[in-house]
């Protein structure tokens, strides 16, 4: 993570993209460290949001490529359970993307949104809003905005 910190806003973009994709680490610590070091809340908000959004788009796309048969076979999830989750995702649709900024469950949710093929045009926009809200909250918590 020190290497990413040394890159400043570029490191924040890259780290946020990686954290929002399949790499299991939190971009929050990186965000706070770079925010504190640069004292640039707008730059951090833009870099963090953009990187996290790009990572989420990759995760959404990965989910889109998934097949029900794979989940049933490799993860031993029954068809009935997949149908139950599909009904929940269908109920709220792309609006669930607003929750993408929540650590840990947000990335899983994004994968599910792709897997269940929510409307891409709305999902993409609402992913951006969810990611923006996450980093805006960090700016407020740290007191630099």
Q: Which domain holds residue 130?
A: 2-142
For residues 96 and 26, give the distance between their C-alpha atoms in angstroms, rounded to a whole number.
Answer: 20
Beta carbons of 28 and 103 less than 8 angstroms apart:
yes
- The total number of structural domains in the chain stands at 1
* For residues 47-71, average pLDDT: 93
* For residues 132-144, average pLDDT: 91
The more confident residue out of 23 and 30 is 30
Greatest CA span in the chain, whole angstroms?
50
* Side-chain half-sphere CA neighbours of 12 within 13 A: 25
What pTM did the predictor assign?
0.90
* pLDDT tens, residue by residue, 87-113: 988 999 999 999 999 988 899 899 999
pLDDT of 144:
65
């Amino acid at each position: 993570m020190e290497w990413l910190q040394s890159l400043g806003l570029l490191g924040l973009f890259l780290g946020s993209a990686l954290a929002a994709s399949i790499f299991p680490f939190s971009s929050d610590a990186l965000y706070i460290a770079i925010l504190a070091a640069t004292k640039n809340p707008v730059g951090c908000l833009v870099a963090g949001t953009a990187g996290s959004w790009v990572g989420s788009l990759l995760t959404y796309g990965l989910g889109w490529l998934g097949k029900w048969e794979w989940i049933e076979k490799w993860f031993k999830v029954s068809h009935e359970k997949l149908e139950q989750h599909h009904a929940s995702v269908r109920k709220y649709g792309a609006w669930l993307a607003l929750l993408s900024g929540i650590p840990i469950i947000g990335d899983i949710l994004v994968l599910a949104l792709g897997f269940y093929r929510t409307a891409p045009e709305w999902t993409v926009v609402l992913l951006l809003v969810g990611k923006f809200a996450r980093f805006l909250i960090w700016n407020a918590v740290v007191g630099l905005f």
